Amino acid sequence: MKTAFFTTAFLAITILASARQTPAPASAQQVTVLTNATIIDGTGSNAQPHMTVVIDGGRIIRIVPGKVVIRQGAVQIDMTGKYLMPSIIDCHTHVGNLKGTTTSGENYTPENVRRQLQKFQDFGIATILSMGTEQPIGVAIRDSSKAGLIPGATLYSAIYGFGVKGAMPPESAGFTHIYRPETPEEATKDVQELAPLHPDVIKMWVDDFYGQYRQDQIMRPEIYTAIIKEAHAHGIRAAAHLYYLSDAHRLVDAGLDIMAHSIRDAEIDDTLVAEMKRRHIAYIPTLSLDEFAFAYEDDPVWLTDPRFKASLEPGVYDMVTSAAYKEKISKSTVTPQEKMALPIALKNLLTLYRAGVLIALGTDAGASPIRAQGFSEHMEMALMVRAGLTPLEAIRIATLNGARLLGIETDQGSLEKGKKADFIVLDKDPLTDIHNTLSIDAVWKDGIKVSDGPLTHYQQ
């Protein structure tokens, strides 16, 4: 795969920088003091009531109980009755391909990506890792986003993922820029071509897509071994879409760094748990993917939630509530497998969490119209609680653990002195009911309020 990356990249940066729509930020000297807030700091510590947060230059410079002497000229905001939690980090998403009820590389424009980054932000998601479905223009968008030049969630990306010719990811998914090496030598060369673009991880698909491809169409171990080896030679970690326990074992033996979905065909055995711990392999369960696969069949309680509707692309609500769609799910030969997959995924999450494996939040939102960008992240936390974690644990996974996975924990992921003032202001306590992470009053980024929540831009 050869593309004229650098010309388009330069062009895109120019376009994106000039189209910047961020409201004029408060002056760098502006000190903001939030008083009487209840802080859920993302580290797993209990909620701390009556806290004062002092923000200067976009960062938290003090976070203390009670009151502080407020410097003249500082802006003071009373947060009585509000809960502050760090903004969410989603370590498995896709951007730009979704538009209306379609998923296609043709939808991938700077405008579409920017719109979706804004949507993520409206739902309190500060940072996302897009898993290998970019178009060439996406490289410049990622770079501009990381440089703070475009509004919305910050985009990290695997850029172009690695799949199998005639198999995963399916052509029907509409992802046109995928490496599909047929030999280890080709795989190595492809990684060498991709590495100068600095993908944040290397993404591979190792799956038969619910049995829709033959076993011999699953990426062969010699291919992913070559990909992982070359990724490591460039200092890049490898992440795999996977499904089966047997593939997980082989991928771990091959040096995998990140499992980008749950193992869903069988309960994880002690050997794999121990090996994942020993090798510091991170695990991204994407439970909401499994839930969304069949949930629409039975009119789930959240179906009429205006925030769910707001997270959908135009036309998708009518699609998923139609009798035809329900019938399609109930008749699909894949549905029984998907229904069995979720409880196994929940159990495996609990096992790995209790063993001390690094778990980060991911959703696979944006890869299909039925998985809503923004709402999925909140559903993901609720499913973690259903798996047996506490809301406090789910929030840490959604925030600090994601920052650790991305290697940005010195800057993001928790509300602590010195870190960026990126947080969500909630009207209701998420520790008494995890669904309250959706009671978003405001979203702050770099010490500035950037959104009034999910109903601001996308009410349908």
- Least gap, CB of 373 to Zn ion (angstroms): 12
Binding mask 366-385 for Zn ion (x = CB under 5 A): -x------------------
How many chain residues touch Zn ion (CB under 5 A)? 3
**Nearest alpha carbon to residue 188 among 224, 228, 227:** 227
**Stretch binding Zn ion (CB under 5 A), from 13-21, 129-137, 185-193, 446-454:** 129-137
Peptide bond into 199 cis (omega under 30): no
Chain residue at closest Cβ approach to Zn ion: 364
Tell me how many degrees the CA angle 55-76-54 measures, rounded to the nearest 5.
20
**Stretch binding Zn ion (CB under 5 A), from 126-134, 164-172, 309-317, 383-391:** 126-134
**Stretch binding Zn ion (CB under 5 A), from 37-45, 313-321, 358-366, 430-438:** 358-366
Structure-token match 């993404």, residue found: 203
Give the residue, chosen from 47, 131, 276, 359, that forms a contact with Zn ion under the rule CB under 5 A: 131
Taking the least distance from each CB to Zn ion, the nearer of 151 and 366 is: 366
**Stretch binding Zn ion (CB under 5 A), from 3-11, 154-162, 361-369, 444-452:** 361-369
Residue list 52-91, contact with Zn ion (CB under 5 A) = none
**Quick check: 364 binds Zn ion (CB under 5 A)?**
yes
Query: For residue 220, what are the CA distances in angstroms to 203, 245, 368?
Result: 15, 15, 26
Strands 282-283 and 258-259: parallel
- Least gap, CB of 171 to Zn ion (angstroms): 16
Q: List, in order, residues 6 or more apart from 337 with CB less than 8 Å away.
A: 210, 211
**What count of Cα atoms within 13 Å lies in the side-chain half-sphere of residue 251?**
31
- Least gap, CB of 130 to Zn ion (angstroms): 9
Q: Give the orientation angle of helix 137-146 with respect to helix 110-122, to 10 degrees.
A: 40
- Least gap, CB of 94 to Zn ion (angstroms): 6
Binding mask 316-355 for Zn ion (x = CB under 5 A): ----------------------------------------
Taking the least distance from each CB to Zn ion, the nearer of 131 and 344 is: 131
**Stretch binding Zn ion (CB under 5 A), from 69-77, 222-230, 362-370, 415-423:** 362-370
Taking the least distance from each CB to Zn ion, the nearer of 313 and 364 is: 364
**Nearest alpha carbon to residue 81 among 426, 436, 382:** 426
Backbone phi and psi for residue 195, each to the nearest 5 degrees, phi listed first:
-55, -40
Strands 125-130 and 102-103: unpaired
Strands 238-241 and 258-259: parallel
Structure-token match 């999925």, residue found: 376
- Least gap, CB of 98 to Zn ion (angstroms): 12
- Least gap, CB of 241 to Zn ion (angstroms): 6
**Stretch binding Zn ion (CB under 5 A), from 102-110, 354-362, 364-372, 413-421:** 364-372
Torsion of CA 404, 139, 284, 48, to 10 degrees: 40
Interacting residues with Zn ion (CB under 5 A)? 131, 364, 367
